[in-house]
Structure 1
Amino acid sequence: MSALSLVAAVDGNVADAGKAIALALGIGLGSLGAGIGIGNIFGSMIQAVARQPELRGELQGIQWLGFALTEAVVFYGLIGGLLAYVLI
């Protein structure tokens, strides 16, 4: 095996490792942000209902909408990361 082909083989593995690390970091940070956001949504809901229990029905719809939109960010990050990993 020549030195040039050895370098090419190592470069391919390093690039794959870099892509895998980038994918893991992207998904991990996206999940971390979504986890913080979801915790904030539910914590605020608990505080709001504790202060004004009669508004629970109105606040609950807004809570689930916020939860769904925050959770969608994780899926966008996952799909984007997987597409970048496969296509690049």
Structure 2
Amino acid sequence: MGLALGIGLGSLGAGIGIGNIFGSMIQSVARQPELRGELQGIQWLGFALTEAVVFYGLLGSILAYVLV
């Protein structure tokens, strides 16, 4: 139960965060297309850091399951 809850909440938060990142990127490029190259690097960094939350949730859930 805890494993599913931990990874589920981590995935939910990451999904919302990634949606915000890409939505903001689309709005930014629509306003200033010449900054697309600069913004893309920041976008992928934000995506990777947000996606890491899912892996931390999975790791924490597995550790809690194994240790308890």
Interval of TM-score (by shorter of Structure 1 and Structure 2): over 0.9
TM-score (norm 2): 0.98
What is the number of equivalent residue pairs in this alignment?
Answer: 68
Residue 23 of structure 1 deviates from its aligned partner by 1.0
Residue 49 of structure 1 deviates from its aligned partner by 0.1
In structure 2, the partner of 1:27 is: 7
**Larger relative contact order (Cα-Cα within 8 Å, sequence gap ≥ 6):** 2
- For the pair 1:53 / 2:63, whether they are aligned, the reply is no
Higher Cα radius of gyration: 1
For 1:70 and 1:45, the matched residues in 2 are separated by: 15
Once the two structures are aligned, what percentage of the paired residues are identical? 90
Residue 22 of structure 1 deviates from its aligned partner by 1.1
In structure 1, the partner of 2:22 is: 42
C-alpha distance after superposition, 1:8-38 (max 9, x if no partner): xxxxxxxxxxxxx111011101100000000
In structure 2, the partner of 1:82 is: 62
For 2:67 and 2:5, the matched residues in 1 are separated by: 18
For 2:4 and 2:60, the matched residues in 1 are separated by: 12
Q: Which amino acid aligns with 2:61?
A: G
For 1:29 and 1:73, the matched residues in 2 are separated by: 10
Q: Which runs of 5+ in 1 are unaligned?
A: 1-20
- For the pair 1:70 / 2:50, whether they are aligned, the reply is yes
For 1:42 and 1:36, the matched residues in 2 are separated by: 10
